[in-house]
Amino acid sequence: MRQLIQFLARNRYFFLFLMLESLSLILLFRFNDYQQGVFFSSANRINGKLYSYREAVSGFFALRENNTELLRLNSEMELRIASLEESLRNAGLAEKELKAADRYEYIQARVIKNSVSQLRNYLTVNVGKQDGIAEGMGVCNHQGIVGVVSVCSDHFSVVIPVLNPEISFSCIIAGSNSVGSLNWKGGDTRFAWLEELPDYAFWAVGDTVVTSGFSDAFPRGIPVGVIHSIEKKSNSSFHRSQVRLFTSFESLADVRVISQFLRDERMELEKELEQ
Amino acid sequence: MIRLFLKHSLLFVLLFLLQIVVLQQLYFWYVVPLVYVYILIRWPATLSAGWVLTLGFLLGLLVDINADTPGMHAAATTFVAFLRPALLKGFITKEEIETLEPRERSMGFIPFWKYVISIVLLHHTALFMLESFSFFDPLLLLVKIIGSALLSLLLIFLFERF
């Protein structure tokens, strides 16, 4: 016993190191599952506040630029609405078809913290449970898809963006019904991979990729990117292709969270099936 | 003694804020300067090894909490904090250790930079290896380690001229 104590005392420096290092590694491997990261995440109050202040300063300097962009978008939208209404009237469509678009609501949010240089990136936005945000909701901006809400506190939420290998998105090639799964593999932030595309699918370089609407996070048709190159595997009936993303993740500022009115109903139904 | 304590506390706060508010947000082609190791480099040689370990761990943990990377920076910083006393002893002579604060002026150019470069390289290597644990791309890993180390060293070089 005495020898043991002496041994420990002699090597206490080394044991302290072992203890702290294993503590870090436990944190690393236990908390990396993003749902468990609530304690560490920047959705917690103090960090959320700090990042809001910083965003207030940096946001101020980008005001003019953002304004021009918004004005441009606004006029573009007005033009599109006008032409859409025109063609709807021409086609003689009833109220019913227009209703389908009403199933979704956008909640405006600002990115107060963003990372793109890490392997697993996260971003924090300034809306939370009290603004109607729930875990699993989709996030996009005017360019295209951004990510999915992972955890939310009362006033802040952490979003897992496309730039995180832990998440993948169900996508289709616009105009066809070929479903693939979009996943980022680290490295270049402009490109992600679209995988599990069936052999027989018709698609080519330059085709647009949009969300499929099969998950509850996104409605069908949110823009994702353009097919940049195709990789054919000779021994497999599935292909994968590199997709150039529409969203520029380095300069995310305004995003919208997509809330689905019938989300609860749909989730309940799907849960019933699982049981 | 109190002056030394205040000086290091101030250095801690300033460099820490620089790291999380400015540097962590920059993005040059996968590469992030990690100057917060300079805090650990500067601690006086008289600080006991146990304290260096504990403070190193806490420093890493604070960066982790802000970067949403639980345990990653803590593990890398604890690792270099463990090796720091040995490195310091290796690069300076016995008599100097008593009062020394590791700086270019007090240690001399070559020993100081040997010490800094070893700490920065060990720290960055440990950190980026942990980051790519489940996801291994050797070339990207090398780019990240070398690029980030060069940027960190450049910044430390500038701080030393202050």
Q: What is the pLDDT of residue A41?
A: 55
Q: How far is B112 from chain A (nearest CA, A)?
A: 25
In the block, tokens 């560490």 appear at A40
How far is it, in rounded angstroms, from Cα B117 to Cα B114?
5
Give bridge partners of residue B47 from the DSSP assignment.
Answer: none
The answer to whether residues A195 and A134 belong to one domain is no
Q: Specify if A195 maps to a domain.
A: yes
CA A141/CA A139 separation, integer angstroms: 7
CA distance A259 to A62: 28
Least confident of A61-70, A137-146, A250-259, B153-162: A61-70
- Co-location of A148 and A131 in the same domain: yes
Q: What is the CATH number of the domain that holds A193?
A: 2.40.10.350
Q: Are residues A80 and A214 in the same domain?
A: no
| pTM for this entry | 0.64
**pLDDT number for residue A35:** 43
Task: Give me the percent of chain A exceeding a pLDDT of 90.
Answer: 4
How confident is the model at residue B99, as a pLDDT?
Answer: 63
Q: What is the CATH number of the domain that holds A101?
A: 2.40.10.340
pLDDT average, residue stretch A28-32:
69
The yes-or-no verdict on residue A125 having pLDDT over 60 is yes
| CB spacing of A17 vs B69 below 8 angstroms | no
Chain A positions in Cβ-Cβ contact with residue B82 (cut-off 8 Å)? 17, 21
| Per-residue confidence (pLDDT) for residue A248, from 0 to 100 | 87
Give me the number of domains chain A comprises. Answer: 2
**Structure ipTM over 0.85, yes or no:** no
Which chain A residue has the Cα nearest residue B57?
A20
Question: Which residues in A lie closer than 8 A to residue B72 (C-beta atoms)?
Answer: 24, 28
Q: Which residues of A touch B69 (CB under 8 A)?
A: 40, 118, 120
Measure the CA–CA gap between B61 and B72, rounded to whole angstroms.
8
Asked if A42 and A51 touch (Cβ cutoff 8 Å), the reply is yes
How many residues does this entry show for chain B?
Answer: 162
Residue among B68, B131, B135 whose CB faces A122 most closely? B68
DSSP sequence for B91-137: HS-HHHHTT----HHHH-HHHHHHHHHHHHHHHHHHHHHHHTTTS--
Query: Of B45, B37, B62, nearest to B123 (Cα)?
Result: B37
Q: Which of 48-87 (A) contact B at CB < 8 A? A: 54
Q: Are residues A263 and A190 in the same domain?
A: no
What distance in Å separates residue A67's CA from the closest CA in chain B? 23
Of residues A222 and B78, more confidence is placed in B78
Residue A117 has phi, psi (to 5 degrees) of -90, -10
**Average pLDDT taken over every residue of chain A:** 79
Other beta carbons within 10 angstroms of residue B75's beta carbon come to 25
Q: Are residues A64 and A117 in the same domain?
A: yes
Q: Name the A residues in 174-213 with CB < 8 Å from any B CB.
A: 185-187
Residue found by looking up tokens 């999915």 in the block = A148
Q: Check residue A19 and give its pLDDT.
A: 87
Predicted local confidence at residue B89, as pLDDT: 81
CB-nearest to A13 from B49, B71, B135 is B49
What pLDDT, on a 0 to 100 scale, did the predictor assign at position B138? Answer: 79
Look at A96 and A6; give whichever has higher pLDDT.
A6
Least confidently predicted of A77-81, A181-185, B99-103 = B99-103
Residue A153 tokens read as 């506190």
- Identify the pLDDT of residue B121: 93
φ, ψ at B101 (rounded to 5°): -105, 120
Instruction: Report yes or no on A4 lying in a domain.
Output: no
Average pLDDT over every residue of A257-266: 78
Higher-scoring residue by pLDDT: B99, A265: A265
| Nearest chain B residue to A24, by CA | B71
What DSSP character marks residue A245?
Answer: E
Within 8 A of A183 by CB-CB distance, chain B residues are: none
The Cα–Cα gap between B118 and B90 comes to 11
Structure tokens at A53: 């202040």
Residue to substitute from B68, B128, B148, interface A, most A β-carbons within 10 A:
B68
Number of alpha carbons in the 13 Å side-chain half-sphere of residue B29 = 7
Average pLDDT over chain B reads: 83
Rounded to an integer, what distance in angstroms lies between the CA atom of residue B37 and that of residue B54? 14
The answer to whether the Cβ–Cβ distance between B68 and A186 falls below 8 Å is no
Residue A39 belongs to a domain? no
A119 closest CB neighbour out of B24, B25, B132: B132
Asked if A260 and A224 sit in the same domain, the reply is no
Taking residue A171's Cβ as centre, other Cβ atoms within 10 Å add up to 27
- pLDDT grade for A95, boundaries at 50, 70 and 90: low
Predicted local distance difference test score (pLDDT) of residue A28: 78
Is residue A14, in this structure, part of any structural domain at all?
no
Per-residue pLDDT reduced to its tens digit, A138-154: 998 888 899 999 888 88
Asked if A138 and A257 count as a contact pair (C-beta separation under 8 A), the reply is yes
Least confident of A6-20, B20-34, B146-160: B20-34
pLDDT bracket for residue A275 (50, 70, 90): confident
Q: Which of B27, B54, B68 sits opposite A41 (nearest CB)?
A: B68
- List pLDDT tens digits, range A202-250: 777 888 888 888 877 888 888 899 988 887 766 666 678 889 998 888 8
Average confidence (pLDDT) over A97-109: 70
Instruction: State whether A241 and A266 are in the same domain.
Output: no
Cβ contacts of A47 within 8 Å, gap of 6 or more: A124, B65, B66
Q: Is residue A105 part of a domain?
A: yes
Give a yes or no: residue A37 inside a domain: no
Residue with the two structure tokens 């969270």? A257
Measured distance CA(A99)–CA(A203) in Å, rounded: 31
- Do A263 and A235 share a structural domain? no
Pick from B78, B131, B137: CB nearest A118: B131
Query: Are residue A55 and residue A148 in the same domain, yes or no?
Result: yes
Phi-psi region of A206 (alpha: psi -120 to 50; beta: other; left: phi over 0): left
Residue A264 resides in a domain:
yes
Contacts of A9 in chain B (CB under 8 A): none
Q: What is the mean pLDDT of residues A119-138?
A: 86
Is the pLDDT at B76 greater than 90? The verdict is: yes
pLDDT band at B106 (very low <50, low <70, confident <90, very high): confident
Check residue B28 and give its pLDDT: 65
Same domain, residue pair A105 and A130: yes
In a domain, residue A21? The reply is no
User: Is pLDDT of A72 > 50?
Assistant: yes
Could you tell me the residue range of the domain that residue A232 belongs to? 168-246
- Inter-chain CB proximity A186 and B66 less than 8 Å: no
DSSP character for B48? -
Grouping H, G, I as helix, E, B as strand and the rest as coil, residue B68 is coil
Is A150 at the interface with chain B, CB within 8 A? no
Compute the count of residue pairs across chains A and B with CB atoms less than 8 Å apart. Answer: 90
B6-17 burial code (b ≥16 CB/10 A, e <16): eebeeebeebbe
**From CA B143, how far away is CA A218, in angstroms rounded?**
36
Nearest chain A Cα distance for residue B74, angstroms: 6
Task: Tell whether the model's pLDDT for residue A34 goes beyond 60.
Answer: no
Beta strand pairing call for A138-140 and A168-173 = unpaired
Query: Same domain, yes or no, for A202 and A224?
Result: yes
**By CA distance, what is B17's nearest residue in A?**
A50
At residue A81, the pLDDT reads 79
* pLDDT of A32 over the 70 cut: no
Tokens matching residue B36 = 């917060």
Same domain, A182 and A110: no
